[in-house]
Amino acid sequence: MKMILLRKFRVLILMVFLIACSMHIMIDLLPKLERHGNSGCSCSHTPSEEPQSWGKQGWPNKHTLRILQDFSNEPSSNVSSHSLERIPATGDKTQALRRLEHYGQRGDKKRQFIQDATLAKSIPVKGSRLSALYEHPLYKRSLPPLTNEDTLFNVNTDIRFDPKAAEDQEWNTEGNVDEFSPTGELTADSYPNWLRFHIGINRYELYSRHNPVIDALLKDLVTQRITSVAMKSGGTQLKLIMTFQNYGQALFKPMKQTREQETPPDFFYFSDFERHNAEIAAFHLDRILDFRRVPPVAGRLVNMTKEIRDVTRDKKLWRTFFISPANNVCFYGECSYYCSTEHALCGKPDQIEGSLAAFLPDLALAKRKTWRNPWRRSYHKRKKAEWEVDPDYCEEVKQTPPYDSGTRLLDIMDMTVFDFLMGNMDRHHYETFEKFGNETFIIHLDNGRGQHIHYNMLYMSILVPLTQCCRVRKSTHLRLQLLAKEEYKLSTLMAESLVRDRLSPILIQPHLKAMDRRLRQVLNVLSECIEKEGYTYVVEDDLQGDQGTDHTHTSPQRR
């Protein structure tokens, strides 16, 4: 009797094991089985029904992703975080250049210019305050002559498109031959806008003051068809890498909070939500301040079904989609924080707002160095950073490379003003292009934790670098004074600039008023510096800093 029971138990265990294996196999085969089902998705039209197709084309081979940025916790880090895909080895540019050639060729030939009446508002109104600002002498100062060492790419050598080298030979028969030069190569004007943006980067700026490519690139971010989506690895919150029809790429940050929502005062700055509208506003503020150190950002209303779920090749992302009890399409992805069903991102019914930030060049083509912000916060609930307890901390910074010479310290002061106007307390790292060494601007990336409205003492600590060092560019100070005047009021200029964005209004009125209030606070701090030091606190400089001039020394002009 015991032997019979033992045999039955063994058979039962075997059956359970076989059932479990069968279920795992069915789950793995589910995407491939469903791709033979209905090609459409009912979610886009009738959200009350269960989605019929969760992946129309199965899981093709992995695609190469260019990287936008990384904010490593290691102070010595000089590389950006890797995406889901492996980038070419450092120093080996052949593969990346070939891919760049292929992207530029096909993207240029196949790009579609969508005429939309709603984009007419992106055209500056003649006689507007914003136009008058850019006509002011402070916004017309020219850069030093650029050499090959001052440009990120030398178009004649580093980036040369050869149609015969394209992987897709069918492309050679498309389009007009008029776009080729007599040598059979594509001209720079025919490159896609994202590539023209990359080519324009130099030692002093991400883009020139009146570069028409930027407005064209902003339009591309809104209108280009999304062909592929993947999660970006690293970071505390969900971000998506989107690839467009013209092979450009952008970082998508979805809407997590409404314009009116504020972070509770008891929340730590490192546990705050990232705001898509803060990313958009940061780009416009950066242009108004004439820094031009933020990559182009535009707002876009994305169809989560057709433009994310149905085109993603990321299984982990695909599996987090679901229909909420309110019949809305939702997903949550994978990240360190806020990636769960309790913090899911839901559409209405499948439309969601988000910011799209244009990618910087591939790291294989233009390496970037990641620097630890000297005034980085402790990111600890009880411990304080050194700058919070040492009033003479700036003196130590000024004796430490690269802050002991050149313009880097003044760049930090510019970034401090920028973050204070935005309300961003989370500037732990920044990046520079490695080719330009220490004599170049710093890139203002990752601006999602900005735009707090209400005042608190911790918020004022953003200005500590300015109060401790009492250093700022003369041109920056003059522009801040200009933006405090009624005819060039910062809030008015921001409102006029932001109305061009597809998701307008980007900022509510309390946000705009807060920026005027913060601007006055910055000017008060600088006035106190002058009174305390007894002399002017900067030497003469141009908009981006004189080459080889040490701006950390003061020019003693007694009052």
Annotated binding site for ATP: 237, 253, 274, 357-360, 431, 446
- Bridge partners of 94? none
Q: What does the DSSP 8-state code read for residue 429?
A: E
State the Cα–Cα distance between residues 450 and 425, nearest whole angstrom: 7
The SS3 of residue 114 is: coil
State the Cα–Cα distance between residues 489 and 494, nearest whole angstrom: 9
CA dihedral 241, 245, 247, 253 (to 10 degrees): -20
Q: What does the DSSP 8-state code read for residue 301?
A: E
Place of tokens 């791709």: 35
- Bridge partners of 433? 368
Among 368, 360, 439, 366, smallest CA distance to 154 is for 366
Place of tokens 């509770």: 264
Indicate the helix (H) or strand (E) that contains 357: strand 351-358
State the Cα–Cα distance between residues 527 and 156, nearest whole angstrom: 48
State the Cα–Cα distance between residues 267 and 456, nearest whole angstrom: 12
Active-site hit among 411, 414, 426, 501: 426
Burial of 139 (0-12, 13-18, 19+ CB in 10 A): middle
Query: Binding site membership for Mn(2+): which residues?
Result: 274, 446
- Bridge partners of 369? 432
Place of tokens 């790429």: 249
The SS3 of residue 455 is: coil
Helices 474-483 and 408-422: crossing angle, nearest 10°?
20
Query: Binding site membership: which residues?
Result: 237, 253, 274, 357-360, 431, 446
Among 331, 336, 286, smallest CA distance to 309 is for 331
**HEC sequence for 29-50:** HHHHHHCCCCCCCHHHCCCCCC
Q: How many CB atoms lie within 10 A of CB 117?
A: 6
Burial of 86 (0-12, 13-18, 19+ CB in 10 A): exposed
- Bridge partners of 301? 353
Indicate the helix (H) or strand (E) that contains 433: strand 429-433
State the Cα–Cα distance between residues 376 and 192, nearest whole angstrom: 37
Rounded to an integer, what is the distance from CA 186 to the centroid of its chain? 29
Residue 92 catalytic? no
State the Cα–Cα distance between residues 374 and 353, nearest whole angstrom: 34
- Bridge partners of 240? 231, 252
Catalytic residues: 426
